[in-house]
Amino acid sequence: MSRLCAFVSPWLGKGLHHLRHPTRRGILIAIGALPAALVLYVLVLIPFTPGIGDIRKARVDQPAQILSADGKLLAEFKPSNREWVPLSQISPHMVDALISTEDHRFYEHHGIDFKRTAGAALHTFSGNRQGGSTITQQLARNLYPDEIGRAPTLTRKIKEAITAFKIEAVYSKPQILETYLNTVPFLYNAFGIEMAARTYFGVSADQLTVLQAATLTGMLKGNAYYNPVINPERALARRNTVLAQMVKYGKLTDAQYATLAKKPLRLDFERQTEPPGPAPHFAQQLRKWLIAWADRNDYNVYSDGLVVRTTIDSRLQAMATAALKQHANQLQGSANSAWSGRNGCFAGNDLFRAFMRETPDYKSARAGDANSGVSDEAALKKLAADRTFMRALCKDKTTVQAGFLAIDPRNGQIKAWVGSRDFAGEPFDHVQQARRQPGSTFKAFVYGAAFAAGAKPTDTIVDQAVEMPLEGGEIWRPNDDVPPSNKPMTLRDALAFSRNRITAQVMQAVGPDKVARLARAMGVRDSELKPVPSLALGTSPVTLKEMVSAYSTIANDGEYLEPRMVTRIEDSKGDVLAEFASASPERALSASADRTLLDTMRDVVNRGTGSSIRTRFGIRADVAGKTGTTQDNADGWFILMDPQLVAGAWVGFDDGRVTLQSEGARSALPIVGDFFSRAFRARIVDPRARFDTEVAPGAFETFRERLKTWMDGLFTSKAPTGTPHAPAHAPAPRPPAVAPAPAEVPPSSGVAQAGAASAASAASGTGVPPDIARMFGQPPVLGASGASGAQPPGPSPQQAPYPPQEPTLAPTPTPDDSDSGNSAGNSAGNSAGAQYTPPISTPQPPTSATPSATQPQGN
């Protein structure tokens, strides 16, 4: 030791002597301060990098899983198109190619390869920039781009190195490789090796060959630059470079390289889209709700592994999807036929010319040649010559769309949701997003308000021409597809056969404001309802979800339950985070009025516009419903109520100017009927379930009384033209309510006296006729239904108030399913059980979007 001190002392003394010089001392301090400052800077940056807890969590990030009520996977909410696969399911060729090219000392370092980093720095200073990041550093950059940054700066490299050290401290080498290969991007929305293998080669990650693995590894240096789809020459050269690296580090022999390098790129390219799942529109709406819930409760939808248990029944969902596609495809065939001729997708068709003028192509044709004065006709002629344009426009405008929703009325749970025929081709949701006129399905609220005000199904109103003055001096004249009979008709029959003139008079008595309030209370809560007379025929656009929800209120004894999608949310361990019970019911309609309405709507299915539910689909369960059709058949609706399930469908085109030549009974009803028949056969819905529709004594006549009235009327009057008859093969519905002769009914019952009504109506041009006023217990207001004064004479007191619907002695036509709300003149006639393809109307010129006060609307 003494000898060492003797040796060092002279050198140390000389060094200290030299440090006495200020310049030399400053240089030494500066040299020592630089590393110290760097260390201090690193320490400052550590808090700005992901913490160990975040890094532990990153490895196990899991998207939310959406499950049906019966435990089937409906969707996964992923931030990107990625499918995680374990390292054992990744081809060894991919691992060899990756390590040989990107980080051949991967198993030797602890996150940073100092040799490679120093070499990369020297090359960079010499002007030949070279990367020195290890696989772990690249993983840090991929996992935390926001925390680490993207700019090529010293700060980013230091953050990257710090994060790499943390990753190495938390995970093993195999775990790092697995995470890296499952997170690296490969263009075309393909994240991770599994989606890359499918996108570029049509195989799974475990099936990648050496050449395929080398091609994908080559892309890591620059996805776009070495993209094998658009830059095959560069990708081929880069692939061979990767193969050479594999030879260099002993993963391939020279002979293998010589053979492989000569082979061309063989791609099987196809973009990979995230599977839509069995209920994509439902999942789309649920995602919005779940993100809001997660934000409020400090969860991440895309990484916390939430398990969301929904109300959807996967079996009913599959049945709804199949029924909608089958019947919409049939309608599409008819639409294609109607639009294939000279009156269809042809520049000579005024409607199609209007479509052409609305396209950007037309505007470009006119604007691009503005100086040369290209006319409208010249632009249309130019576009008409472009077959690709014409085919695309025709398909866009004439594609039949549909929506379907089913709700359990007992608890508000949504059981099936189909927003369109094909989510990939039409992601727009026709259940919750589309607002369309509901047509005659809205009549349920008119009659519900009437029953709540004291009317009874056996009350009668004269089926006569109606004129109602509107603001601005316009006159509204609702029509039916049959001429007025000028005879009394019961409210039960008016609803069963969807009579617009009767409904308009009921609306006049009840008042649009009351009807709108009832509709909102029952479930139509988001759409605006204009309290105008034509609201009775469904002229205010609403969503299918609102209408099915409102009908669920009818099926639930008049109590509204908010539709719900979720029953429970769990974490990844199965612990319950939140449960969602049914909301408290809200009384929307009194139980007695609701049961009266429901019983009246049974006749729609038993013998009215919805009778093919019985005759065509053979459904014998206790059901009630309503068809709906809007003007020119632009929209077809049908909603059916069962004690355990309420389901509705809408059918139409995205452009309301394109119309169907069939009512809701022929377009939407088959979807619902097919769905229910499947559900009943599978016993998912109990066909033996019955509604509780007991009503106060005296509300309806007994069977014997109604039959006697019918027999009396049979020999005292003839049925008026256009009177509906019960189908001969209907499943024995109970006889319809028929009002007794006026002399036998007390005044409070509100039986219409047609002659008196006509006399009163002639006295004034406005007001509620006295017969309708008495129906609701109001003092009669002398006023006409029409503005013209005199009305056609009504039947004498000896005549039957309205012809009954019992089977007649002579053969008569069946009512079919024709919704009388359709444009006048639609023919009826469809034998029971026959397969029917609804016709599509011949394309018509565009009409005004604002309903005319003089035209029938929402029928």
Give the pLDDT band (50/70/90) at residue 767: low
- Mean pLDDT computed over 410-430: 94
Neighbours of 518 (CB within 10 A): 22
Per-residue tokens: 278: 């069995």
Q: pLDDT per residue over 595-638, tens digit each?
A: 999 999 999 999 999 999 999 999 999 999 999 998 777 899 99
Give the pLDDT band (50/70/90) at residue 351: confident
DSSP label at residue 47: G
- Mean pLDDT computed over 208-231: 95
Lowest-confidence pick of 105-109, 161-165, 167-171, 816-820: 816-820
Contact criterion met (CB below 8 Å) for 436 and 650: yes
Checking if the pLDDT of 268 tops 60, the result is yes
Checking if the pLDDT of 828 tops 60, the result is no
Lowest-confidence pick of 27-36, 180-189, 599-608: 27-36
- Mean pLDDT computed over 73-96: 92
Whole-number Å distance between alpha carbons of 807 and 725: 7
What pLDDT does residue 391 have?
A: 82
**Residues whose CB is less than 8 angstroms from the CB of residue 831 and which lie 6 or more positions away in sequence, other chains included:** 814
CA 59 to chain centre: 34
- Higher pLDDT: 376 or 637? It is 637
Give the pLDDT band (50/70/90) at residue 802: very low
What are the DSSP calls for 63-80, one per residue?
PEEEE-TTS-EEEEE-SS
Checking if the pLDDT of 851 tops 50, the result is no
650: amino acid identity, one letter: W
Q: What is the CA radius of gyration of the chain?
A: 38
DSSP β-ladder status, 307-310 and 73-77? unpaired
DSSP β-ladder status, 624-629 and 64-67? unpaired
What pLDDT does residue 843 have?
A: 41
- Higher pLDDT: 374 or 609? It is 609
Per-residue tokens: 154: 């010293």
Checking if the pLDDT of 824 tops 90, the result is no
- Mean pLDDT computed over 173-180: 93
DSSP label at residue 738: -
What pLDDT does residue 631 have?
A: 77
What pLDDT does residue 820 have?
A: 47
Whole-number Å distance between alpha carbons of 447 and 163: 69
Q: pLDDT per residue over 198-212, tens digit each?
A: 999 999 999 999 999
- For all residues of the chain together, what is the average pLDDT? 78
Checking if the pLDDT of 825 tops 50, the result is no
Helix (H) / strand (E) containing 406: strand 400-408
**Phi and psi at residue 461, to the nearest 5°:** -135, 145
What pLDDT does residue 637 have?
A: 96
What pLDDT does residue 697 have?
A: 39
Residue spans per domain, the chain: 11-48, 79-260, 341-398
Give the pLDDT band (50/70/90) at residue 406: very high
What pLDDT does residue 25 have?
A: 57
- Mean pLDDT computed over 722-729: 38
3-state secondary structure labels for all residues of 325-362: HHHHHHHHHHHHHHCCCCCCCCCCCHHHHHHHHCCHHH
DSSP label at residue 111: S
Checking if the pLDDT of 803 tops 50, the result is no
Give the pLDDT band (50/70/90) at residue 553: very high
Give the pLDDT band (50/70/90) at residue 52: low
Give the pLDDT band (50/70/90) at residue 22: low
Contact criterion met (CB below 8 Å) for 787 and 761: no
Q: Which CATH superfamily is domain 79-260 in?
A: Biosynthetic peptidoglycan transglycosylase-like (1.10.3810.10)
Contact criterion met (CB below 8 Å) for 139 and 179: yes
Lowest-confidence pick of 27-36, 153-162, 256-265: 27-36
Q: pLDDT per residue over 123-150, tens digit each?
A: 555 555 555 689 998 888 888 877 777 6
**Percent residues over pLDDT 90 in the chain:** 51
- Mean pLDDT computed over 573-580: 95
- For residues 547, 284, 436, 677, the Cα torsion angle rounded to the nearest 10 degrees is -50
What pLDDT does residue 717 have?
A: 44
What pLDDT does residue 701 have?
A: 44
What pLDDT does residue 17 have?
A: 56
Of 3, 196, 209, 190, the closest CA to residue 97 belongs to 209
What pLDDT does residue 439 have?
A: 94
Q: pLDDT per residue over 489-528, tens digit each?
A: 999 999 999 999 999 999 999 999 999 999 999 999 999 9
Whole-number Å distance between alpha carbons of 436 and 637: 10
Per-residue tokens: 711: 């027999």
What pLDDT does residue 46 have?
A: 65
Of 575, 582, 578, the closest CA to residue 290 belongs to 578
Contact criterion met (CB below 8 Å) for 505 and 786: no
Checking if the pLDDT of 696 tops 90, the result is no
731: three-class secondary structure by DSSP: coil
As beta bridge partners, residue 418 has 404
Checking if the pLDDT of 429 tops 80, the result is yes
Checking if the pLDDT of 410 tops 50, the result is yes
DSSP β-ladder status, 64-67 and 307-310? parallel
Whole-number Å distance between alpha carbons of 859 and 536: 9
Of 444, 448, 391, 402, the closest CA to residue 425 belongs to 402
- Higher pLDDT: 576 or 349? It is 576
Identify the top-confidence range among 117-126, 384-393, 394-403, 726-735.
394-403
Of 298, 305, 306, the closest CA to residue 58 belongs to 305
CA 449 to chain centre: 31
Checking if the pLDDT of 437 tops 70, the result is yes
The structure's pTM equals 0.72
Burial 842-856 (b: 16+ CB within 10 A, else e): ebeebbeeebebebb
Checking if the pLDDT of 818 tops 90, the result is no
What pLDDT does residue 442 have?
A: 98
Lowest-confidence pick of 269-278, 360-369, 414-423, 622-631: 360-369
- Mean pLDDT computed over 21-27: 61
Give the pLDDT band (50/70/90) at residue 372: low
Contact criterion met (CB below 8 Å) for 783 and 761: yes
Give the pLDDT band (50/70/90) at residue 737: very low
What pLDDT does residue 691 have?
A: 95
Lowest-confidence pick of 505-509, 546-550, 810-814: 810-814
Identify the top-confidence range among 398-407, 708-717, 774-783, 816-825.
398-407
Per-residue tokens: 506: 């009921």
Contact criterion met (CB below 8 Å) for 518 and 449: yes
- Higher pLDDT: 29 or 233? It is 233
**Residues whose CB is less than 8 angstroms from the CB of residue 575 and which lie 6 or more positions away in sequence, other chains included:** none
What pLDDT does residue 147 have?
A: 74
What pLDDT does residue 772 have?
A: 67
What pLDDT does residue 112 have?
A: 85
What pLDDT does residue 120 have?
A: 56
Checking if the pLDDT of 748 tops 90, the result is no
Checking if the pLDDT of 670 tops 50, the result is yes
Give the pLDDT band (50/70/90) at residue 532: very high
Whole-number Å distance between alpha carbons of 638 and 676: 12
Whole-number Å distance between alpha carbons of 800 and 840: 39
Identify the top-confidence range among 329-343, 550-564, 766-780.
550-564
Checking if the pLDDT of 175 tops 60, the result is yes
